[in-house]
Amino acid sequence: MTDMTKVPQGIAQVNKKNKIGHDRVFPVVNTLILILLMIITLYPVINTVAYSFNDGTDALRGNIGLWPRVFSMKAYESILSDNAVYQAAWISASKTVITTLLNLFWTSMLAFALSRREYVLRKFITTVMVLTMYVNAGLIPNYLLISRTLSLSKSYWVYIIPTMFSCFNMIVIRTYIGGLPDALVESARIDGAGDIRVFWQIIFPLCMPVLATVALFVAVGSWNSWFDTHLYNAGKKNLHSLQYLLKMKLATTQASANAAKSSAEALASTTQTTPVTIRCAITVISTVPILIVYPFLQKYFVTGMALGSVKG
Amino acid sequence: MSIVRNAQGKEIRARNKGFFRTLFSQWQLMVMSVPMLLYVLLFNYGPMWGWVTAFQDYKPKLGMLGSKFVGLKNFEWLFTRQDFINSIRNTLAMSIINLVFGTVSSILLAILLNEVRNRGFKRTVQTVTYLPHFLSMVIVVGMAQNIFSSNGAVNAMLLNLGLVREPVFFLGEGKYFWWLVGVINVWKEVGWNTIIYISAMTAIDPCLYEAASIDGAGRFNKIMHVTLPGIRSTFVILLIMNIGHLMEAGFEIQYLLGSSVVMDWSQTIDVFVLQYGISKQQYGVATAAGMFKSIVAIILLVSANAISRRLGEDTLI
């Protein structure tokens, strides 16, 4: 980051001296800085991949860069023979799909209703919704509601029911619908279609770009969440999500990272595959789905973010 | 006004007949919106009743109705605790570091990206720098442990450059914790946070740049006098929102990256709430801590908004 702060000064100096020279120098410097930034961004990711393909005992010596030092597939073999990982992957994948679909269904319908100016409850409902972005009851009251009042803990439903709605996403979709021509709705209404039909047959199909954005936000949020498992389902092994599994591996490797001085001891007492390589391998497995999906949706979510922030 | 302009004749008549008549005629819109209204009332407003426990000696067995009221005792107890005072300090320190680092780095990156003429390269940089936003905090903390461990990449680099003689224990010493969190957050979010600034920059009228060129402004002057003023209102709005979130330094990263060794520096209010509320089951105290946080957050948001209005800038509310 310190490199970046120096840039404007550098430009200023060149600028004063020679305008033509500066126009040639700046793009080069800029490109170099951005390439450096990409390296800094990607290094930890590739480093993790390298760790995951490294031999477990050797990995404890650390200092693995972008390529495994002693190549080994042991970590992957041990994960792929572990039924807990399959179960967790199934939980993660299914809750992601269900949460995403439910979110799209409810959020887009609500967004449509709140985009109709003639709707008499529009102001009231919008205010109630928007306030939730700024006022939050807090962790403990939420916990008491979900686990005690509603008895949702130790069940699969705790992944689905409390995460069905997000005001931010609703505003993103509503802003998008607001940008569609009013005539679309009005002409359909004149032809005798009710609001529900107008929405499903005319507006919903037109919202695909913004729905792709919201689907990505919701899916990534659901896929990446571990805290709900930690809070409500820690005791139910068959309901653990992939990220929670990873979180538990993190806790076991953390001790060795903090007590790094005793790495010689740790080295002596380990078996072939150590948690570090296993943790990295699970990381890779749980990241691949996101890596596959997200570049295709990039052009959508950039617009979506801009839309949401205007009104949000 | 808008009702008359947009609605059809049928609805204007219905409107004259009264609110409930109109409401009834809009039953389809109600079907689409009222379920989520009830949902939000239950899941977002319902828990606010739980704030009652902040004034109680809450016993799970007795519940909210049966527990004894103790007035402000929970709050008084909180402020006698050194670890609560520490967690306020840590929360504010880390969120200010995040705010300053995060804002400066994302504006700088947005400016640099805005100057890139090659669209393919710009898109590549964006794709790469957005990526960490989509990684879970568990994964990011795992990566940070590899990179910052005593035999990780950062220490290897520092040793090779001769900046340190012994490996630095970034993860094991409290004094590094805040800065580590700042660096990790910038790494994770800098690309993502540029989206909004870049979209503000594309909204700047190109004529302004042309006029500046004619007046002899170079690239740096154009950035200073066209680009930066162009993103000013975005900056102010985001600043107000972020000030409203100053009490939220996040808890995932502190919870996952922290350890008992660095707890004095890593514990935020949220982690405190989690520890006392869930692990120690002291619900009353933990709710009081959470409530304190919410109230301060609202005060911060409203005052930032008021100051901004006083200064003639944009406001959020």
Domain assignment of residue B61, yes or no = no
DSSP 3-state percent helix, strand, coil across chain A (nearest 5): 80, 0, 20
Best of A28, A69, A118, A213 to mutate (most B CBs within 10 Å, chain B): A118
Q: What distance in Å separates the CA atoms of residue B248 and residue B262, rounded to the nearest whole number?
A: 19
What pLDDT, on a 0 to 100 scale, did the predictor assign at position A38?
95
Spell out a b/e string for B131-168, using b for 16 or more CB atoms within 10 Å of the CB, else e: bbbbbbbbbbbbbbbbbbbbbbbbbbeeeeeeeeeebb
Decide if pLDDT at A93 tops 50. yes
Domain assignment of residue B25, yes or no = yes
pLDDT 10s digits, A226-275: 999 998 988 888 899 999 988 888 777 655 544 444 444 444 444 445 57
What pLDDT, on a 0 to 100 scale, did the predictor assign at position B68?
81
Residues B302 and B197 in one domain: yes
Question: Which residues on chain A are in Cβ contact (under 8 Å) with B123?
Answer: 298
Domain assignment of residue A38, yes or no = no
In total, how many domains does chain B have?
2
Question: Which residues on chain A are in Cβ contact (under 8 Å) with B150?
Answer: 62, 260-261, 263
- Chain CA centroid to CA B313, Å: 21
Q: What is the pTM (predicted TM-score) of this model?
A: 0.84
**Mind giving me the DSSP string for A137-200?**
--HHHHHIIIIIIS--TTSTHHHHGGGS--HHHHHHHHHHHHTS-HHHHHHHHHTT--HHHHII
Task: Sort strands B68-69 and B56-57 into parallel, antiparallel or unpaired.
Answer: antiparallel
Residues B103 and B141 in one domain: yes
The 10 Å Cβ neighbour count of residue B290 is 27
Residues B247 and B293 in one domain: yes
Residues B109 and B223 in one domain: yes
Instruction: Name the 3-class secondary structure at B68.
Output: strand
Would you place residue B188 in the very low, low, confident or very high pLDDT band (cuts 50, 70, 90)? very high
Domain assignment of residue B279, yes or no = yes
- Greater confidence (A55 vs A17) lies with A55
Please give the residue of chain B at the shortest CA–CA distance from A230: B278
Residues B14 and B83 in one domain: no
Best of B27, B36, B98 to mutate (most A CBs within 10 Å, chain A): B36
Domain assignment of residue B315, yes or no = no
Closest CA to B85 of B264, B284, B275, B244: B264
Percent of chain A whose predicted confidence (pLDDT) is above 90: 25
- Chain CA centroid to CA B204, Å: 26
- Greater confidence (A141 vs A301) lies with A141
What pLDDT, on a 0 to 100 scale, did the predictor assign at position A4?
43
Domain span at residue B129 reads 74-310
What pLDDT, on a 0 to 100 scale, did the predictor assign at position B111?
94
Residues B102 and B26 in one domain: no
Q: What distance in Å separates the CA atoms of residue B184 and residue B190, rounded to the nearest whole number?
A: 10
Domain assignment of residue A172, yes or no = yes
Residues B159 and B111 in one domain: yes
Q: Report, as an integer, the average pLDDT of A92-116.
A: 93
Question: Which residues on chain A are in Cβ contact (under 8 Å) with B137?
Answer: 224
Domain span at residue A275 reads 79-312
Residues B115 and B20 in one domain: no
Q: Report, as an integer, the average pLDDT of A92-108.
A: 94
Considering chain A, what is the average pLDDT of its residues? 81
In total, how many domains does chain A have?
1
Question: Which residues on chain A are in Cβ contact (under 8 Å) with B298?
Answer: 134-135
Domain assignment of residue A235, yes or no = yes
Domain assignment of residue A96, yes or no = yes
Domain assignment of residue B141, yes or no = yes
Percent of chain A whose predicted confidence (pLDDT) is above 70: 82
Domain assignment of residue B96, yes or no = yes
pLDDT 10s digits, B250-287: 788 998 888 888 888 888 999 999 888 888 888 888 99
Measure A235 CA to nearest chain B CA, in Å: 14
Would you place residue A311 in the very low, low, confident or very high pLDDT band (cuts 50, 70, 90)? very low
Domain assignment of residue A88, yes or no = yes
Residues B28 and B108 in one domain: no
Decide if pLDDT at B154 tops 70. yes
Decide if pLDDT at B107 tops 90. yes
A176-180, B61-65, B276-280, B303-307, range with the lowest pLDDT? B61-65
Please give the residue of chain B at the shortest CA–CA distance from A109: B32
Instruction: Judge: B135–A224 Cβ closer than 8 Å, yes or no.
Output: yes
Question: Which residues on chain B are in Cβ contact (under 8 Å) with A227?
Answer: 252
Q: Is this complex's ipTM strictly greater than 0.90? A: no
What pLDDT, on a 0 to 100 scale, did the predictor assign at position A15?
46
Residues B258 and B129 in one domain: yes
Residues B25 and B81 in one domain: no
pLDDT 10s digits, B132-143: 999 999 999 989
Measure B154 CA to nearest chain A CA, in Å: 10
Instruction: Judge: A109–B32 Cβ closer than 8 Å, yes or no.
Output: yes
Q: Report, as an integer, the average pLDDT of B85-109.
A: 94
Closest CA to B257 of B153, B140, B95: B140
Instruction: Judge: A231–B195 Cβ closer than 8 Å, yes or no.
Output: no
Domain assignment of residue B182, yes or no = yes
CATH of residue A200: 1.10.3720.10
Residues B101 and B185 in one domain: yes
CATH of residue B289: 1.10.3720.10
